[in-house]
Amino acid sequence: MSIQTAFERLDATSWGIQSHVCVGLDPDPARMAIPDVFEFNKSIVDATRHAACAYKLQLAFYEALGVPGLQAMERTIRHVRDAAPRAVIIADCKRGDIGTVAAAYAKAMFETWGFDMATVMPYMGADSIEPWLQYPDRGVYIVCRTSNPGAHDVQELRVQGGEKPRRVFEWVAAAAARWGAAGKVGLVAGATQPGDVRVLREAHADMPFLVPGVGAQGGDVALASRAAANLDGRGFIINSSRAIIYASKDRANFARAARDACEKLRKEINSALTVSV
């Protein structure tokens, strides 16, 4: 029997609970309803686990808190394993470096911290991705088309050659598709540019997409969902961080508010997929 890949597990969980929602656990001491990072995350996970197929931890927010932040991250990962064992846990670390260093980063994310998946940067090419693919039951999302205004500066440069003109992020997606022949590679495609998400989906029918940029960043949930879904209405998750975890700053109600926001997002996505366009 072959080992189930992280993307297969994610797809099964997503289908099982009928949810494409990934909850972003991005602790910001200035915005959290309670001060303890782990307790905050625990409350969010417990309130959303029935409606979220994945949790994405943005490493910057833990690193900014130093060693105590990383210890809270460790405890959070363990808690998700216990409380939501079918959920997939994603390190949003966007690491990228040459082979020997990439191997150390992959070890950090997959072995030391125990994530299922990680986001990785494509700028240094194939040999910076390859060490991540040595783990049969893990996966990576290649950062391809991001949701921020600066995405324009490099990702949208037009590349010479090929049959038709394509932008850098389209080349990255094509390279990622080659690197990911073993089913261990997906793409990050930001919701703020649903037209580009659609371009990527048309070119890559089966690649898993991680779609950030709804909520605080302004991406339209329905447009992004329809653009990201594959022909079966699957193959993607939509991440929301701030709009869920900071739905309320009220100490007594923040977890319930997060639950409500998570369920609302699940419904919005599912409705968008069932309505014909």
Residues classed as catalytic: 94
152 part of the interface to a copy of itself, by CB under 8 A: yes
CB 118 within 8 A of CB 90: yes
Nearer to a copy of itself, 153 or 250 (CB): 153
Letters for 5-34 (x = contact with a copy of itself by CB under 8 A, - = none) are ---------------------x--------
Q: Pick the stretch among 9-17, 69-77, 195-203, 218-226 that binds a copy of itself (CB under 8 A).
A: 69-77
Interaction between residue 203 and a copy of itself (CB under 8 A): no
Identify any residues that bridge with 211 across adjacent strands, giving them in sequence order. 238
Instruction: Check binding of 61 to a copy of itself (CB under 8 A).
Output: yes
Beta strand 158-159 with 166-167 is antiparallel
Nearer to a copy of itself, 127 or 250 (CB): 127
Residues 153-192 that bind a copy of itself (CB under 8 A): 153-155, 157-161, 165, 168, 171-172, 175
Nearest-angstrom CA–CA distance, 39 and 60: 19
- The count of residues interacting with a copy of itself (CB under 8 A) is 58
225-264: which residues touch a copy of itself (CB under 8 A)?
none
CB of 103 to a copy of itself, least distance (A): 8
Contact between 87 and 14 under an 8 Å Cβ cutoff? The reply is: no
Question: Closest CB to a copy of itself among 21 and 73?
Answer: 73
Contacting residues toward a copy of itself, per CB under 8 A: 26, 58, 60-61, 63-67, 70-71, 74, 94-99, 101-102, 104-105, 107-108, 111-113, 121-129, 143, 146-155, 157-161, 165, 168, 171-172, 175, 217
